[in-house]
Structure 1
Amino acid sequence: MIQPWMVIGAVTFLVSLGGFLIRSRQDLRWAKRLDRPNWLVFEPAIPLIWTIIFVCGAWSATIVWQHDPNSFKTWVLMGFYLLLEITTVAYIPLTLRLRSLAVGTALGGLGLMFGLVLAVIVWSVSHTAAFLLLPYLLWSPIGTYTTREMIDLNPESV
């Protein structure tokens, strides 16, 4: 029998994989040429950080699902989790495709707002599920700030 955590995990994986696959080599070359802040020494750890964030998000969604499976409210929350993930995953392909750090900054800010709203709503369902959104809520502003700082270093890439 397929368990809810399997479905949620598969959706999380497929959405994140989709964002990874929507990149061209030209777009990646553009990104590699961008100047980065000197303090950005943790860049190699970013894929691991996002993996942890997505696992925590999927775990949070699973807890919410298990609290009240198949209810209308739970389905709406699952849609909100999906919206948050799509917004987050869209950051790289849209920033690269449009070659616009401003787009990346806007998506980062939008994701943070979605994450905050989701965490507040989820708090009433499960404190544990809300706490599992903390890695996203802590990291998202760092990524958004970093992208914003890169605009100052690469003004032609707004």
Structure 2
Amino acid sequence: MDTIKSKLGYQPTWQQWKPGFFDDAVHLALFVGVPVVVGFLIGLLTAKDVKGWYKTLRKPKFNPPSSVFPVVWTVLYVMMGSAAWLVWSNGGWKQHKFALSAYTVQLFLNFLWNPTFFFLRKLDWALVDITLLLGALATTIATFHHVDDRAAMLLVPYFLWVSFATYLNFSFCELNPKASRHIVDAFTIKKRVQRRVAELKAEMID
């Protein structure tokens, strides 16, 4: 029986899976981990503003509770990372350079929105950013669709949420026209970042 199996090129399941399975698991963890971890760190940076300044803003009636956002974004980050991994594992960067570049651009715009809205407190800049994000995300979904339908479908809830968030951002701008009139320069940003980092260090020590 063993001779027949060897002639047929048979390998036990664990031998078939061992190299590919662990490689895939590591790559999937990286693709999912990057947005989740970076999103978490950005959340730490802006947490004080969410609890303080954000509460002073006038909000639209359909604005979700603050506790909803971290949960939704964590789920979406896992889904988008999984989608990117599906595309990457289907030929790598060389074969799908445009699709993965579009994904990278939308991810950068995604990371940029939170500190722009909460940390810099520039609602109008955040609206520009999230509008660009919506366009980049639509491009990403279209390009992912040509590679793997599953990857494109994983991004659909993300697209719907960003569409809602874009309208939400617009509503905040309409309800708080004076909130973005302050001037933001590099020196101010540097000082605020340094102060926030110092506060986080103090919180960790305590």
Q: Measured at CA, do residues 26 and 16 of structure 1 come closer, stay the same or move farther in structure 2, by a change above 3 Å?
A: closer
- Cα distance per residue 1:45-95 (max 9 Å; x no partner): 2221111211110110111011113x4133553343232122112111112
Q: Which runs of 5+ in 2 are unaligned?
A: 1-21, 181-206
Q: Which runs of 5+ in 1 are unaligned?
A: none
Contact 1:104 1:144 survives alignment (8 Å)? no
Q: CA deviation at 1:42?
A: 4.7
Residue 127 (structure 2) aligned to one of 100, 105, 110: 105
Larger relative contact order (C-alpha < 8 A, sep ≥ 6)? 1
TM-score, normalisation: structure 2: 0.68
Matches within 5 A, 1:133-148: 133-148=155-170
TM-score, normalisation: structure 1: 0.87
Q: Measured at CA, do residues 77 and 22 of structure 1 come closer, stay the same or move farther in structure 2, by a change above 3 Å?
A: farther
Q: CA RMSD in A?
A: 2.1
Could you say what secondary structure the match of 2:46 adopts?
Answer: coil
CA distance in 2, matches of 1:15, 1:82: 13
Q: CA deviation at 1:130?
A: 0.6
CA distance in 2, matches of 1:80, 1:62: 14
Task: Decide which structure has the larger Cα Rg and report it.
Answer: 2
Q: CA deviation at 1:24?
A: 6.9
Alignment of 1:49 onto 2:109? no
Q: Which residue of 2 aligns with 1:22?
A: 45
Residue 149 (structure 1) aligned to one of 160, 171, 182: 171
Contact 1:119 1:130 survives alignment (8 Å)? yes
Matched positions, count: 157
Percent identity at matched positions? Answer: 22
Q: Which residue of 1 aligns with 2:144?
A: 122
